[in-house]
Amino acid sequence: MTLHGELSASGLRNELAAGNVTPREAAEHYLAVIDRLNPELGAFVTVTAEAALARADALLRAGIPRDAGTRPPLWGMPLADKDLCARAGIPTGLGSRLGGQIPAVSDPLVRDLEAAGCVSLGKTNTPEYGLYGYTESAVAPPARHPEAPHLGSGGSSGGAATAVASGMLPWAPGSDGGGSVRIPAAATGLVGIKPTRGLVPADAAAPPTHTGVVSGPLAHTVAGAALLLDGMRGDTRERYGAALRSAPGRLRIAATRSSAWDDAYEITLDPAAVAAYEDALAALTALGHDIIQEEFTYPRLDYAHIFTTAWQRSAASLPVSTPNEEARLEPVTRELMHRGRALSAAENARNDADLATYGRSLREAAAPYDLVLTPALGQSPRPVGSHSADPDTNFAQQVRYSPFTSAINVAGMPAITLPVGRYRVEFTERALPMSVQLVGGFGRDALLLTAAAQLSEAVAWTPSAV
């Protein structure tokens, strides 16, 4: 059975519901692709073929629920867990030499996706503790760009992006605490959604984070991503998938190539990033939306210090308590942890206040507009192994690669990255996908997705199998 390139995620879901494809057939198809491509591309760190097929058979034995009102919305759909999520009985690697524990209980998001009817095929690659915007670690091969394997797929949901873009999965969940869904989605020509903070119920059960981590989907299309988002939310009926059937109306859209990091770093956009942004601008204008260019401004606060401190605090909270455990951390992670743990109680409290102030100020700055358009990335995909082992240089590299994503986490606003076209880029002769980011008002996810679907149709983006 050939599925990739013939059926979208939405189409596969419908074929499963109709009984034209069985959960085992779907799982076997994608497991065969994983077996063929994963050794080169590094998308999966664990493949659970036996458990996946047993789960698929159990779903079929229970029978296909014919009533759409009672049928799990993602019945029989394959996916995989990011290897920061705990699934009972499966090692949780965390991208670290300190990982590998086998949990007795699954995380809430895993349980919610099980309840939605999904079949997990394994665990996708992530950098150490998901701290980085690239997916390379000491415990697994790097996650590589399916169309140019000498380039990375971004991070920290880089394994998920590689899996979906290469056809190892129809879609995948990820997590985003600074762009970790949107960055790899943009790097590999996928749609990536960072929902409004609190929209996915499982996130409320997770430990508090300093960088606004939320769960979000990666898929080939806006429709597929919206459908997976419904499943991640535990919705029994389509909510965001159904929203795409309506037109967004005439919107007031702010467009900016500026970023929150511009005061602290020299941000130079790749020509391909600018070209994709300008093509999206032209498409939105042709659709009849009101485009206001370069009027939107980020809050005049020390964002670089605010977010850098929050990043260090995230590392400070790692479950590391002995010198031996410290020694097993990667050098950049270890230094980040030390810097975070050196912060005083007053500095931590000040950072909490600064994060809240910045987030509120950014929401207020965006309030006059329905949406804000930015480039998705500042640069095209970077070569594997190009990130420095020096923490400050490493962080600067990540900022220049993705200057547009992290501030949206701080504000808790929804955002989506979607491909616009293929462009000539650095480090490869092959034209690669480049994307833009749309940001919505807090809680206005439905409008954001509707406008994104309209833009994707206008630019006539067509996913291509590798």
pLDDT digits (tens, 9 = 90+) for 302-333: 999 999 999 999 999 999 999 999 999 999 99
Assign residue 294 a region (left: φ > 0; alpha: ψ between -120 and 50; beta: otherwise).
left
Facing residues of 418 across strands?
Answer: 436
pLDDT of residue 239: 86
* Tokens 């949107």 belong to residue: 182
**SS (HEC) of 212-262:** CCEEEEEECCHHHHHHHHHHHCCCCCCCHHHHCCCCCCCCEEEECCCCCCC
pTM of the model: 0.97
Chain-wide mean pLDDT for the chain?
A: 95
Task: Supply 274's token pair.
Answer: 């600018």
pLDDT at 265 over 50: yes
As a whole-number percent, the residues of the chain with pLDDT over 70 amount to 98
Given 8, 96, 153, 156, which residue is catalytic? 156
Given 8, 137, 175, 180, which residue is catalytic? 180
- The pLDDT-based confidence of 26 (bands split at 50, 70, 90) is very high
| 21, 25, 30, 32: CA torsion to nearest 10 | -150
Given 8, 10, 82, 314, which residue is catalytic? 82
Q: What type of residue sits at position 383?
A: P
Task: Supply 434's token pair.
Answer: 């480049």
pLDDT at 296 over 80: yes
pLDDT at 5 over 50: no
pLDDT of residue 1: 47
pLDDT of residue 237: 76
Q: Are 132 and 180 in contact (CB under 8 A)?
A: no
Query: Mean pLDDT lowest for which of 124-138, 234-248, 302-316, 415-429?
Result: 234-248
pLDDT at 117 over 50: yes
For residue 274, count other CB atoms closer than 10 A to its CB: 15
pLDDT of residue 66: 76
Q: Are 397 and 404 in contact (CB under 8 A)?
A: no
Helix (H) or strand (E) holding 171: strand 171-176
pLDDT at 3 over 90: no
pLDDT of residue 4: 45
Collect all residues with Cβ–Cβ distance below 8 Å to 74 and sequence separation of at least 6.
13, 113, 116, 117, 118, 227, 228, 231
Collect all residues with Cβ–Cβ distance below 8 Å to 462 and sequence separation of at least 6.
none
| 3-class DSSP state of 7 | coil
Rounded Cα distance between 132 and 157, Å, is: 9
Annotated catalytic residue 402 = no
CATH: 3.90.1300.10, 1.20.120.10, 3.30.450.20, 3.30.70.660. Which one for 9-243?
3.90.1300.10
**Cα–Cα distances in Å, from 104 out to 51, 75, 112?**
16, 24, 16
Annotated catalytic residue 317 = no
Q: pLDDT, tens digit, for every residue of 124-143? A: 999 999 999 999 999 999 99
Helix (H) or strand (E) holding 456: helix 445-458
Rounded Cα distance between 215 and 212, Å, is: 10
pLDDT at 388 over 50: yes
Query: Mean pLDDT lowest for which of 236-240, 346-350, 421-425, 440-444?
Result: 236-240
pLDDT of residue 6: 56
Rounded mean pLDDT of 187-195?
98
pLDDT of residue 96: 98
pLDDT of residue 314: 96
pLDDT at 462 over 80: yes
Annotated catalytic residue 123 = no
As a whole-number percent, the residues of the chain with pLDDT over 90 amount to 91
